[in-house]
Amino acid sequence: MAARITEVSAGVLNFLAGVIQPAPPDVAEAAYAATDVLETLDGKRVRVVPVSYGDAERLARRRVMKEYKVATVIEVPYLAAASPAAEGAIPPDWVDQQVAWVEANIFDPLNETFVHAEDGLLLGSLTCWACEVTSVYDPIRLAEEKLLVSIVETSYRESVEG
């Protein structure tokens, strides 16, 4: 049986596979390494990796609230950079479009889903506790590698005996 944090990461990956537009061609098998990649037809790559886990609070003598944090790393290559004619800076409009895509396809769905039990919980018992874009994009990687990298972190909580 996989550790709970890896189950949470796989659950988030599978959830995103169902909402990302255009739909990714394949969903990778969940594993410890960051090889779980959803790749869209236009080259965007989405990885979900475990960040941390622990007891958030003790609810009773034998009941604790566990918290699991995962990071969704979005990599968007500037495909025009592959052309010999494309030199210099990446157009700001392209960056704005990618930031908007991350918000609409990653942040909004993660932030709005699994929040209330009546709407459904991740893996049947996990509530989304927080969702945050911790890096909109890395300007150095954007300039040097022509790669927009954005990171969205979410935390999920569940009450367990312990």
Q: Higher confidence at residue 38 or residue 7?
A: 7
| 46 Cβ contact partners less than 8 Å away, ≥ 6 residues apart | 13, 16, 20, 24, 37, 38, 39, 40, 72, 73, 74, 75, 106
CA nearest 6: which of 45, 48, 37, 67? 48
User: Could you count the other beta carbons within 10 Å of the beta carbon of residue 44?
Assistant: 21
Segment 91-131, tens digit of pLDDT: 999 999 999 999 999 999 999 999 988 889 999 999 999 99
CATH assignment of the domain containing 31: 3.30.70
Segment 37-90, tens digit of pLDDT: 677 777 899 999 999 999 988 888 888 999 999 999 999 999 876 555 556 778
CA angle 7, 152, 38 (to 5 degrees): 60
Sheet containing 45-60: order of strands: 37-39, 45-60, 63-77, 147-161, 127-135
Under a CB-based contact definition with an 8 Å cutoff, are residues 16 and 109 in contact?
yes
Q: Higher confidence at residue 142 or residue 79?
A: 142
Q: Which residues does residue 114 pair with via DSSP β-bridges, in sequence order?
A: none
Does pLDDT of 25 surpass 50? no
Measured distance CA(98)–CA(150) in Å, rounded: 9
Domain membership of residue 72 as a residue range? 4-161
- The DSSP call for residue 28 is P
- How many domains is the chain partitioned into structurally? 1
Q: For the chain, what is the mean pLDDT?
A: 85
Q: Which pTM was predicted?
A: 0.85
Q: Higher confidence at residue 32 or residue 4?
A: 4
